[in-house]
A = this chain, B = another copy of it.
C-alpha cells in the first residue's frame, strides 16, 4: 500500500494485485492453516518457499503485497499472517452463491462443505427437472428454476455456478444475468458470451485433464 499526497488530500493507492499473485495467496494460506498447533509461532518466507517448492523471493514479494508484518530475522507471525491473508482474500465475510443445474455435479457442489472456509455459502440449487426438486439427501434445498429470480433479488445474490448441460449454458447464463447475477463460474465446455460488466470464469475439467495427459505423454 502506498500513500500519496495530492492537493492536501491523502489518496490510498488501490492495492492492485496481479492475478498470478492472487492465485498463489490461497496456497500460502492453506499451508499456514495446515500447520500443527504446537508449531513455532513464527515462520520465514524461506521455510514456506521450501515446503511449497517456490522461490523464496517470490513468497516474500507476494506477502509484502498483501501485508506488512514481516520482521527481519524473525519472519512472520503465523497467526497474524493467516489473519491478514484471510482478510485480504475476503474469506472472513460470507458471500452467497447459487447453483443452476442439480445434476450430479450440481448436487456434489451443493453438498460440499469446504466452501465455508473460503467465505462462500452455497444457498440453493435450481433445476428445471421436477424430479430433483426438494432434495432429500442434503440440508440445502433444490428449487425450480422459476424461483431463482425472486430468491436472488430478495437475498441480493450476485454469484452463480452453472452446472447444466452445455447446450443450455448460454440460455441459463442470459437468464441468471437478468436475475441479477454479476459473477459466473461456468463448468460447461461452452464458452459463454457475457456483457462487459459481468465476470465469467470458465472451468473445463475435461480440457484440464487432457492437458495433464498430454504433459505426461511428452515427459519422455
- Residues of A bordering B, CB below 8 Å: 22-23, 26-27, 30-31, 34, 52, 89-91, 95, 97, 103-105, 107-109, 111-112, 114-115, 117-120, 158-159, 161, 166, 182-183, 185, 189-191, 197, 199, 201, 203-217, 219
Instruction: Say which residue of B23, B191, B206, B219 sits within 8 Å of A120 (CB atoms).
Output: B206
Closest residue of chain B to A183, judged by CB?
Answer: B216
Contact B26 A118 (CB under 8 A): no
Contact B90 A210 (CB under 8 A): yes
Given A27-B191, A216-B183: A104 and B97 within 8 A (CB)?
A: no
Given contacts A30-B191, A107-B108, A119-B210, 11 further A-B contacts (CB under 8 A): A23-B211, A91-B210, A95-B217, A104-B104, A119-B213, A182-B219, A183-B215, A183-B216, A185-B209, A203-B203, A203-B205
Q: Report the minimum CB–CB distance from A144 to chain B (whole Å).
A: 21
Q: Which residues of B contact A158 (CB under 8 A)?
A: 216
Instruction: Say which residue of B27, B34, B159 sits within 8 Å of A216 (CB atoms).
Output: B159
Closest residue of chain B to A196, judged by CB?
Answer: B53
Q: Report the minimum CB–CB distance from A39 to chain B (whole Å).
A: 16
Q: Which residues of B contact A189 (CB under 8 A)?
A: 30, 114, 117
Contact A107 B109 (CB under 8 A): no
Q: Report the minimum CB–CB distance from A40 to chain B (whole Å).
A: 20
Contact A90 B199 (CB under 8 A): no
Q: Report the minimum CB–CB distance from A151 to chain B (whole Å).
A: 18
Closest residue of chain B to A220, judged by CB?
Answer: B14
